[in-house]
Amino acid sequence: MSLIDKVLSRRSIRAYSEEKIPGHVLNKILEAGRQAPSAGNRQPWHFIAVTDKEIKEKLSWGRVNWFIKDAPLTIVGCANTVTGNWSIVDTTIALQNMVIAAWAMDVGSCWLGAFRENEVKNLLNIPEGWKVVALITFGYPAEGENRFPANFQEMRERLTKKKQIDEITGYNKF
Ligand SMILES: Cc1cc2nc3c(=O)[nH]c(=O)nc-3n(C[C@H](O)[C@H](O)[C@H](O)COP(=O)(O)O)c2cc1C
């Protein structure tokens, strides 16, 4: 599949097979973050690759992020807010680079905004001056049409329907 087809076929994956992510694949995912653009080339990010079962269980506290414990990898993206407002944008770009790079290697992922920042910071020893931007689960998709596990079925339409290009785009004016 070409890169453009990979970009267009990416969808949030919330059900993972038990297959681990090999080290060389993880390194490529991290490298995609490292190579991302950033304002003034400040690279104001720090990534925590969580693979430890107990830590993953502690992060899986709620209805919308319980699958952290089933994903072989969760990357926690942190932005150094001391360097200014762009740090959150920069870190977001780096994380999405990772998502696309992962999918190019058939590794699915899901962004998670549902986390308790203070708990995540305490659990992972994240210092003052750093903001947790997002958590992203990564793993090979489980077989079958189960990227929406049972407790997500009623949200399926809301979470998948995409707006049309003419709804979201203006040409030469808003
Ligand atoms: C910033 C952000 C936060 C999100 N938080 C969650 C979340 O907490 N739980 C979840 O299951 N999906 C979460 N998602 C995934 C969205 O639900 C998903 O991207 C959206 O429904 C579009 O579906 P798609 O990614 O398959 O195209 C989040 C996505 C983004 C970008």
CA of 112 to the centre of ligand 1 (A): 6
pLDDT for 155 equals 78
Centroid of chain to Cα 40 = 24
What is the edge-to-edge ordering of all strands in the sheet holding 73-80?
Answer: 45-50, 73-80, 130-139, 108-112
pLDDT tens readout for residues 27-78: 999 999 999 999 999 999 999 999 999 999 999 988 788 899 999 999 999 9
Atom of ligand 1 nearest to the CA of 160: 23
- Residue ranges around ligand 1 (CB below 6 Å): 11-12, 14, 64-65, 110-114, 134, 159-160
Integer angstrom CA distances of residue 113 from 3, 74, 77, 116, 167? 26, 13, 11, 9, 25
What pTM was estimated for this model as a whole? 0.95
Q: Indicate the helix (H) or strand (E) that contains 130.
A: strand 130-139
The residue to mutate among 6, 100, 103, 111, having the most atoms of ligand 1 within 8 angstroms of its beta carbon, is 111
DSSP 8-state class, residue 148: S
Residue 136 near residue 99, CB atoms below 8 Å: yes
Give every residue of the chain whose pLDDT is below 70, as ranges: 144-153
The two tokens of residue 169 are 């785009």
pLDDT for 150 equals 65
Atom of ligand 1 nearest to the CA of 67: 11
